[in-house]
Amino acid sequence: MLNFEESEYQTRLQKVKERMNELGIRVLLVTDPANMNYLTGYDGWSFYVHQLVIVLIDQEQPIWVGRGQDANGAKVTTWLDSDHIRAYTDDYVHSTLKHPMDYVATILQENGYGEASIGVEMDSYYFTAKCLESLKHDLPKAAFQDANLLVNWVRLVKSNQEIEYMKKATQIVKNVMQTAMNAVQIGVRECDVAAKVYHAQMTGTEDFGGDYPAIVPLMPSGERTSTPHLTWTDRRYKHGDLVILELAGCYKRYHAPLARTMILGEAPQKVKDLSRVVIEGISAALDFIKPGVTCAEIERVWKKSIEKSGFIKDSRIGYSMGLNYPPDWGEHTASIRPGDKTVLQPNMTFHMIPGIWQEDYGVEISEPFRVTEQGCELFVDFSRQLLVK
């Protein structure tokens, strides 16, 4: 059931170990579900309890650690031998008396790493203050250091197989976006459109099905378009509503997000003007992209394009994305914004989403893309124009 050849997982692991060596880390505790998947293939909705992958610098395979009832999931979805799958008993779950990291500490001591330099993902959604407190208590002679995003940066350049999965996610999101746009009608409830979006996301295409995206459908309407991260309500669309749709296709945990804006009725001039500015800025920035340029340089091209309009955007216009789990499809590494000196390389993948939000309305139009040898390739062929319905 592996999504990649075992050799690809081994290559990924070797790159992570090289980075560990550079930082003097002998043990890496990987708690981010996407990073766990990247290194082992593990795929399950079990991240609501503590789980992790232990990378030991001198062992050929990582060690998966999780809840007992999830151990068979690791046997089914990972490339690891059974002796590298370790499960803690259920009395560790949501206990005030013991913590799963106590069990992790025992494993490290068994392997002779009780006093080692240990890297942890300190800013991961899934690594808590209690995790670190327990580890420090159980391993008082170990030296802990922040290894946050170590694996994420290794993930930045995708393999050809990863790109193929993202292209399949692209086919899904194209259907999803068209489904949503067809469903948005005056008098229809927002929640009913959301239901059709979910159906399209899971159905996928005739050739392959879809997976659950890391972010739920974001689809504010009316005045709620003045902010980007609202979902849906049970209100009915009405004439004159501006509607933002930020949706995604997902295949084997790889994402292709896409945002578009539509209006039910004649668009006010201010909405037309803002849409034109956003579209022109996206086009200018995409035309500039090629290997060797930095994220900051791309943002400067965008900024120069829109500055003559008088509109201002004080947030980033894009970010690296791909493999992930809730609550985010972004990789938390490179961002297209001032000061980011990340140099683009072929097979880096980004979501360019330069939305602009005003006091009572906003416009979002986005493009997921792959950096190529000569420039960039758009993942999705879908009209960028403001849809007037």
Do residue 144 and residue 207 come from a single domain? no
| Cβ proximity of 253 and 43 under 8 Å | yes
The separation between CA 126 and the C-alpha centre of its own chain, rounded to angstroms, equals 14
Are 42 and 171 in a shared domain? Answer: no
Q: What is the pLDDT of residue 310?
A: 86
Tell whether 120 and 183 lie within a shared domain. no
Per DSSP, helices labelled H in the chain are 6-23, 33-40, 71-77, 100-110, 129-138, 150-154, 160-183, 190-203, 269-288, 295-307
Bridge-based pairing state of the strands 330-335 and 318-321: antiparallel
* Boundary of a domain, candidates 154, 176, 211: 154
In a domain, 39, yes or no: yes
Instruction: Name the token pair of 85.
Output: 């799958």
- Please check whether residues 90 and 118 belong to one and the same domain: yes
Whether 322 is in a domain gets the answer yes
CA 82 to chain centre: 29
Residue 121 identity: E
> Cα(279)–Cα(274) distance, rounded to whole angstroms?
9
CA dihedral of residues 340, 341, 343, 348 (deg, nearest 10): -20
* Residue of 332, 371, 344, 324 lying closest to 43 (CA atoms): 324
**What is the span of the domain harbouring residue 343?**
160-388
- Residue 344 and residue 302 share a domain: yes
Contact criterion met (CB below 8 Å) for 229 and 193: no
In angstroms, the CA 12 to CA 79 distance is: 13
Please give the chain's pLDDT, 389 residues, in tens.
899 999 999 999 999 999 999 999 999 999 999 999 999 999 999 999 999 999 999 999 999 999 999 999 999 999 999 999 999 999 999 999 999 999 999 999 999 999 999 999 999 999 999 999 999 999 999 999 999 999 999 999 999 999 999 999 999 999 999 999 999 999 999 999 999 999 999 999 999 999 999 999 999 999 999 999 999 999 999 999 999 999 999 999 999 999 999 999 999 999 999 999 999 999 999 999 999 999 999 999 999 999 989 888 989 999 999 999 999 999 999 999 999 999 999 999 999 999 999 999 999 999 999 999 999 999 999 999 999 99
Residues 85 and 231 in one domain: no
Count of other CB atoms within 10 angstroms of residue 227? 12
- Beta carbons of 192 and 356 less than 8 angstroms apart: no
Q: What is the CATH number of the domain that holds 365?
A: 3.90.230.10
Same domain, 172 and 90: no
pLDDT at 312: 85
